[in-house]
Every structure is written in C-alpha cells, then in structure tokens.
Amino acid sequence: MTLETISTNKSHEGVQGVYSHASTSTHTNMTFSVFIPPHKEGEKLPVIWYLSGLTCTHANVTDKGEFRKACAELGFIFVAPDTSPRGPDLEGNSVPDDPNAAYDFGLGAGFYVNATKAPFDKHYKMRDYIEKELPEIISANFPADMSRQSIMGHSMGGHGALTIALRNPDRFKSVSAFAPIVSPLNCPWGEKALSGYIGDDKSSWREYDTCALIADGARTPSIRVDQGEADAFLTEQLKPSMLEAACKQAGVSLTLNMHEGYDHSYYFISTFMADHLNWHAKYL
C-alpha cells in the first residue's frame, strides 16, 4: 500500500498532514488528514478518530475544528477520514431523479455503512474502511498506540462514532458526539440512507442505529453528547431525547449537554471541541 502525502504543515509544534491512498474497501482513492502532536522520538500516542457529517470531507474539521492546540497539549493523534468514496465516474454518486441526492445520499453521505444494494455495494463500504482498513494504515504509518483509541463525530459522523463504538467496545475507550443522528430508523435522513444503501428490511438497519444497538444489548462505558438548542435539525432528524431514553432504560452512562443559542455548524463544534478532547483524556 502506497501512502501519498498531499500536504504537511507545522502547527502547535506538531504536523498537520493530508494523505491519499488507493482503498481496498471502496476501490477508489481515499483522502484523510492526521495531526501528529509534538512528541519524543519512538513515543507511541493515543488516537482520536473524528467522523464528519453530511456533505463534508476530511477538510471541514481539519480547517475549522480548532482541535490542534488541545491535541498538542494532550498528546493526541487526530485522524479525520472522508465521509464517502469519491470519483467523477463513481456509480452511486447521485440518483438522477432525486434533487437532494448530492446533499443527503450518495456522494458525501456514506453514513458509515457497508452498502449491500446496487449500485452502491460496489464502492460504499465505509464501515469496513473505518473499522478495518484505515486503522491498519494509521498503525503502519504513524506513531499510534492502537491500544488507546477513542472516537467522536458530528451529525452523520456522530451516528458513525456512536454505532462504531458500540459495535467495537474492546477497541474504543470512549465515544462522544456533536449533534448526532441517534436513530436512523426514526428520521428522514436515516430512512433515506439505509433504505438506499441496504434495502427495505428494517431489521438489517439495527446495527446502524445507536438506540437500537443499545436496546439490543450493545454497550460502551460512557457517552458524551453536546447538542445546540438552536439546531435546525434537532426535532426532525437528531432527537437526542431518544438516546437519553435508550441509555436510561439500559443503564448506560450518558452526559447530554444542551446549549442555548448554538446551531449545527462548526461555530458550535469548535466551541466545545477542547471540552470533548479533555473528556476523552480521562479515558486515554
């Protein structure tokens, strides 16, 4: 596997890099960013995974997330993957008769699932990419201590972070999310994505639904969620009260912070990014 370095920049005495490689999961080129904090030669560092939301690439959090100062102080590697496979001729980039396809389905909206429905099953294997392939690349090419990993995300990426942590409880020490989609079974974004990628059998959706996973017995030591009360998607798409109820019913520790006046944007995320990283530090 050849890893191409697209760019590196010094920041907070560490290095912010952007890299590309040919993925065996998606059969496309994939791009991701990694921040390496200052560290001693030979030192292995804990890893924070950040999964982005609808329409985003690795660049959104890399450019606007304001994570590097805290990561440099805490000694965290910060990894930001893309949200879907990409390419000008990629089947499944859009659905011609759907005007919203480029926004909440197809390109930029991989939902961190393994698609089983044509034509998306050829390339949309984001679950395998995040859970299997990219961790091997990080371990092989960066000073990562893979025994100390945590995961976080925003919106669709919050959904990805929560479901991946619940499916891999031995891998991730902690999980947090900004404004996550907590139940794709019960919101328009999720219903569109999971029916399009997986099919209409909703029983097969449960492994991609945080509330359903918890109800079915999946566990993680603790969850933190921060949610803006001025988020335009709060009522119809995000529904944090469903996660609160699921965690209460199952006895899962949940810290749910509601923030007056904050929306769904990176103004919100960047405000509370350092709080999340310091929260993860307790577990790493």
CATH code: domain of residue 70: 3.40.50.1820
Mean pLDDT for 50-65 is: 98
- 75 in the Ramachandran plot: left (φ > 0), alpha (ψ -120 to 50) or beta? left
Q: Report whether pLDDT(99) > 60.
A: no
Q: 10 Å Cβ neighbour count for 122?
A: 15
pLDDT per residue as tens digits for the range 31-49? 999 999 999 999 999 999 9
| Measured distance CA(262)–CA(194) in Å, rounded | 28
Residue-range definition of the domain harbouring residue 132: 4-281
Does residue 253 have a pLDDT over 60?
A: yes
Residue 89: pLDDT band (50, 70, 90) is low
pLDDT bracket for residue 102 (50, 70, 90): low
Exposure string of 185-203, with b = 16+ CB inside 10 Å and e = fewer, is bebebbebbbbbbbeeeee
The set of residues, in sequence order, having a beta carbon less than 8 Å from that of 204 and lying 6+ positions away, is 116, 198
Per-residue pLDDT reduced to its tens digit, 145-188 = 999 999 999 999 999 999 999 999 999 999 999 999 999 999 99
What pLDDT was estimated at residue 114? 98
* pTM check: above 0.85: yes
Dihedral sign of CA atoms 199, 202, 203, 209 in order: positive
Tally of domains within the chain? 1
Catalytic residues: 155, 231, 264
Which of 35-39, 94-98, 140-144, 176-180 shows the lowest mean pLDDT across its residues?
94-98
Q: Is the pLDDT of residue 96 over 50?
A: no
* Model pLDDT for residues 207-224, shown as the tens digit of each residue: 999 999 999 999 998 999
